[in-house]
Amino acid sequence: MENGNIRPLEDGIEKDLTGLNYGSYLQLDTLLAAQAPLSTHHDEMLFIIAHQTTELWLKLVIHELRSAMALIAADSLGPALKRLARIKHIQKQMTDQWSVLATLTPSEYAQFRGILGKSSGFQSMQYRLLEFLLGNKNAAMIAVFAHHPEQQQILQAALDAPSLYDEFLLFLHRRGYAIPAELLDRDRRVPHTLNAALVDVFTGIYDAPEAQWDVYETCEELIDVEDTFQTWRFRHLKTVERIIGFKRGTGGSSGVAFLRRALDLTFFPELYAVRTEIGR
């Protein structure tokens, strides 16, 4: 019988946690020891955990995105769509996180901002890698990671390789779609730019979705990924504006102005341009 509010352990619950257990499997001793504030200010812990958690989510997005790209390259569209669907839900989680960091007021942040030195989210290798995989290639960014040759190699490999959109266009070519030849054999190190002939290809897909539903659905999944990524960017911008106004970033960027320019970038321009053509 239960005694008041005390609930006895069920008979089958493990009490000998020697060996593999919840804490050891997740390496919680290491994970929970990774928060090392440099000040005595209460709110620095929030700042550290918010950014560390974002890096963990970025790691998962990259894991899923690389898998999706490999599946598309292998003409396995169904499982790739599952990966892309998961990515957009992760991105929504990342976006919601900004609301927690936004509870940090300018006065609170000012008390420990000075100890950050030149540290900045601009220096996140994982964020840069994600942008490269999505197609926002910029070779100049690799120089930022000269202090870490291994990270530079990872970024260089992603710079040289096809992006998610490149892989999708190659897939469409294998399916028999009239993908412009200049997009099939192009310099992968530069961002893709709007191609009018490709807009025509997507217009045909959107005009008859029932005849090519898997391709049509992939187009919409790509839009979802970009939409949720841009929403994350926007919440980043507004959180920074809310906390530091228009100060320069700790890493030397122009801060809010720099983040605002990023909102003008697009990964899949034809998938947005086609929306103007539908129904004409």
> Which is more confident, 195 or 8?
195
> Which is more confident, 87 or 243?
87
CA distance 276 to 280: 8
Q: Is 175 annotated as a binding residue?
A: no
| Predicted confidence (pLDDT) at residue 1 exceeds the cutoff of 60 | no
User: C-alpha angle 131/228/175, rounded to 5°?
Assistant: 70
pTM of the shown model: 0.91
pLDDT of residue 91: 96
Lowest mean pLDDT segment, chosen from 132-136, 155-159, 187-191, 256-260: 256-260
- What is the average pLDDT score of the chain? 92
**pLDDT confidence bin for 151, thresholds 50/70/90:** very high
**pLDDT confidence bin for 253, thresholds 50/70/90:** low
Q: Which CATH class is domain 43-276?
A: mainly alpha
Report pLDDT digits (tens) over 27-40: 999 999 999 999 99
pLDDT of residue 182: 97
- Give long-range contacts, CB 8 A cutoff, 24+ apart: 174-182: 174/75, 175/215, 177/201, 177/205, 177/215
| Predicted confidence (pLDDT) at residue 252 exceeds the cutoff of 90 | no
Q: Pick left, alpha or beta for residue 9 (phi over 0 → left; psi -120 to 50 → alpha; otherwise beta).
A: beta
CA distance 73 to 171: 7
pLDDT of residue 250: 65
Closest C-alpha among 172, 136, 139 to residue 269: 136
Per-residue H/E/C for 34-99 = CCCCCCCCCCHHHHHHHHHHHHHHHHHHHHHHHHHHHHHHCCCHHHHHHHHHHHHHHHHHHHHHHH
Q: Pick left, alpha or beta for residue 220 (phi over 0 → left; psi -120 to 50 → alpha; otherwise beta).
A: alpha
Q: Is 250 annotated as a binding residue?
A: yes
pLDDT of residue 140: 95
**pLDDT confidence bin for 245, thresholds 50/70/90:** confident
Report pLDDT digits (tens) over 39-53: 999 999 999 999 999
Residue 14 φ then ψ, to 5°: -70, 130
pLDDT of residue 175: 97
Q: Which residues pair with 6 in a beta bridge?
A: 3
Report pLDDT digits (tens) over 55-112: 999 999 999 999 999 999 999 999 999 999 999 999 999 999 999 999 999 999 999 9
Closest C-alpha among 205, 259, 207 to residue 230: 259
pLDDT of residue 248: 61
Tell me if 160 sits within 8 A of 188, measured CB to CB: yes
Percentage of the chain exceeding pLDDT 70: 94
Tell me if 168 sits within 8 A of 155, measured CB to CB: no
